[in-house]
Amino acid sequence: MRKNVFSNVAEREPKTAAAPPSVADTPQSYPKHRQGKKALIAYFSPAVSKALRQMALDEDSTMQSLLGEAIDLLMRDRGKHPFGER
């Protein structure tokens, strides 16, 4: 008779190894100006991305600053208080 190779599976302890925290999960890995902030991600066409980058260059600004301005304008347009975060 053949021995059942799976007979002791239930008796074994499950292997539970705690996953090491990733570098991105540790608060110390974020620059000070990003701590406590959340990333917002959106997908647009390459043309929109290029136009926004060019606008930031033309205005000696950043894409984040332009997007913050756009969010503030949207908030005001919808009757909400703008956050003013850049």
Shortest CA distance to 68 belongs to which of 55, 80, 78, 83?
83
Residue 4 has pLDDT above 80, yes or no: no
84 near 72, Cβ under 8 Å?
Answer: yes
pLDDT digits (tens, 9 = 90+) for 5-56: 666 655 665 566 666 666 555 556 778 878 888 888 999 999 999 999 999 9
70 near 84, Cβ under 8 Å?
Answer: no
Q: Who's near 52: CB < 8 A, 6+ residues apart?
A: 63, 66, 67
Model pTM score: 0.59
73 near 52, Cβ under 8 Å?
Answer: no
